[in-house]
Amino acid sequence: MTRELIIAGFGGQGVVSSGIILAHAGMLEDQHVTFFPSYGAEMRGGTANCSVVISSEPVASPIVAEPDILIIMNEPSLIRFEPQLKPQGLLLYNKTLIKSEPKRTDITIIPVPANAIAEELGQGRIANMVMLGVMAKKTTLLKLDTLKKAQRVRYKKASEEQLNLNDQALERGYNFL
Amino acid sequence: MVEKRLMYGNHALVEGIIYAGCRFFAGYPITPQNEVPEYMSIRMNEEGGVFLQTESEIAAINMLFGAGAAGVRATTSSSSPGISLMQEGISYIAGADIPVLIINVVRGGPGLGNIAPAQSDYYQATRGGGHGDYFTITLAPNSVQELFEFPRLAFELAEKYRNPALILADGLLGQMMEPVEFTFEPIDPKTLPEKNYALTGCKGRERRVVRSYDLRSGKLEELNWKRYKKYQEIIKNEQRYEVINDNDADLMIVAYGTCARVAAATMKMARDKGLKVGLLRPITLWPFPKDKLAELGARINNFLVVEMNCGQMIDDVRAATRFRPQIHFHGRPGGGVPNPPEVLKKIEEILGGAQ
């Protein structure tokens, strides 16, 4: 089974980190993985996105044209990527920051107040962890515990306090559904 | 089981270079390979090697000439415009028969171009690139794992034939992350055999000369013929490729690097639809795997060449298959990257039209 994801949002929302955490978690669960970020002429406050493929077989193409799962953190990314989602695909979007409604009727849509939940934990910037937690629950693609392990690799220079907060955000997302 | 590490392609290249026993790196930053010098500056320091950020690409390639002439494994890395600047030096190195490793993480061109992935330097890489009658052994990795493994292979081939070797990657391979298995033990440079041409100080032995010319009448012609024979040997012995699903194929995709990954996904989609599609992936671009293509071209009627350019390798496919089969093309120049659905559409047009 192969599942292709695109994660998109503002630069600074942890979009690229989320992708790396997913890829790392996939590897820890003995899946084949690829991660590819948009790179280069991006700027702070501009849009960032990355593609992740997690598969039981070797990954042929790291380029995701029609994702199975979309994790959308801001409004411009919703407009750009919603049309690309596969029919019957899963759209998770950050309800706190996105005011417009998704238009597709052939997909599963889950609005997540990701920034609001993160703010309750005291830190808006961990909204990305909330989204990953929701995805783990909804898709059974990756275990919550594996995501916790993977975030500790990604943020290996962070304080124990911060890492625990990330874990909590993952859990809040996981228990959101 | 060998430990796996999730790595950027550019970082895997650096580890591959270190593991290959190379302890000399000179280069100048350019996107999309900046992570190579950045990470190399840390790793070379840890390994007690030489890392030099030079004042220009021209300086880097000439330092490589010097290090190679001194008999050590030496590498530079750049991207398209920087590689163009290096061509004079590469020609001198080829003319002096010095093995070095040059890495091109290709970006969109021509000119300044852009920083997106591309394969538009195929002609430059496979036709020598600079002036004079010469070739560089050119390897085309298509995964982060191969970015780790190919520096060693490149040095082995370069030293076997005393010829510069090139790794032709692209921005996507450099920027992507995949798990890497460290499949071999790091090579200790001290264990590498001494070179009989190396300029190491001639005290107590005959003096050696490394140069790309010989001004005596007729000598340069002689040298070129000698090198020509070497190239014939390389062409005979070193054609590398991967071939999948050719036995029943109605159509073979020919693609390397990133495009080979896209092609592999397309092949799977096509097979699911009952379309008999195979894939030939050249691993050496020079020498081009023309013998295998000649064999395939004699029995398969349709070929689709997929490249991130307007059509360069397609010339080699046409020549290798002796213009017998139908050769189709799908290209994305200027930093465009093809995706599997669009390549599948092209295949459906070709095979649909043939039925």
Residue B220 lies in a domain: no
Start-end of H helices in chain B: 9-19, 35-47, 57-69, 80-85, 87-95, 122-126, 144-161, 171-175, 219-237, 257-272, 290-299, 313-320, 340-354
Same domain, residue pair B94 and B195: yes
Residue of B nearest to A25 (CA): B6
Residue B211 lies in a domain: no
B187, B20 in Cβ contact below 8 A? yes
Look at the domain A2-174 and name its fold: Pyruvate-ferredoxin Oxidoreductase; domain 3 (3.40.920)
Residue B265 touches chain A, beta carbons under 8 Å: yes
- What pLDDT is stored for residue A42 in this prediction? 59
Q: What's the average model confidence in pLDDT over B1-14? A: 92
Last residue within a domain, chosen from B214, B236, B258: B236
Decide if B179 and A27 are in contact by the 8 Å CB cutoff: yes
Same domain, residue pair B82 and B161: yes
Of the candidates B344, B319, B329, the residue with the CA atom closest to the CA atom of residue B126: B319
Same domain, residue pair B232 and B269: no
Q: What's the average model confidence in pLDDT over B13-20? A: 98
Residue B205 lies in a domain: no
Percent above pLDDT 90 for chain A: 91
Of the candidates B65, B8, B70, B72, the residue with the CA atom closest to the CA atom of residue B40: B8
Closest residue to A61, CB basis, from B171, B178, B261: B261
Residue B13 lies in a domain: yes
- What pLDDT is stored for residue B354 in this prediction? 46
| Chain A residues near residue B171 by CB distance under 8 angstroms | 39
Q: How many domains does chain B have?
A: 2
Residue of A nearest to B336 (CA): A63
Last residue within a domain, chosen from B208, B236, B264: B236
CA distance B281 to B275: 19
Reported as a pLDDT band with limits 50, 70 and 90, residue B317 is very high
Closest residue to A34, CB basis, from B4, B32, B176: B176
Same domain, residue pair B152 and B266: no
Q: What's the average model confidence in pLDDT over B321-325? A: 95
Write the pLDDT tens digit of every residue in A16-55: 999 999 999 999 999 999 999 986 565 666 789 999 999 9
Of the candidates A109, A72, A68, the residue with the CA atom closest to the CA atom of residue A86: A68
Residue A20 touches chain B, beta carbons under 8 Å: yes
User: Which range of residues forms the domain containing residue B70?
Assistant: 4-200+226-236
Residue A36 touches chain B, beta carbons under 8 Å: yes
Write the pLDDT tens digit of every residue in A44-97: 667 899 999 999 999 999 989 999 999 999 999 999 999 999 999 999 999 999
**Separation in Å, CA of A101 to nearest CA in chain B:** 28
CA distance B201 to A63: 52
Residue B180 touches chain A, beta carbons under 8 Å: no
- Answer yes or no: is the ipTM higher than 0.85: yes
Q: Residue window 41-70, chain A: list those with CB within 8 Å of chain B.
A: 41, 59-63, 65-66
Average pLDDT, chain B: 97
Q: What's the average model confidence in pLDDT over B79-87? A: 98
Residue of B nearest to A40 (CA): B115
Write the pLDDT tens digit of every residue in A88-130: 999 999 999 999 999 999 999 999 999 999 999 999 999 999 9
Decide if A34 and B172 are in contact by the 8 Å CB cutoff: no
Most B-contacting residue of A63, A66, A86, A146 (CB-CB within 10 A), to test interface = A63
Same domain, residue pair B141 and B12: yes
DSSP bridge partners of B213 = none
Whether pLDDT at B289 is above 80: yes
Residue B88 lies in a domain: yes
The domain spans of chain A are: 2-174
Residue B213 lies in a domain: no
Within 13 Å and on the Cβ side, how many CA atoms surround B246?
A: 19
Q: What is the CATH number of the domain that holds B348?
A: 3.40.50.920
Residue B212 lies in a domain: no
Residue B345 lies in a domain: yes
Same domain, residue pair B101 and B231: yes
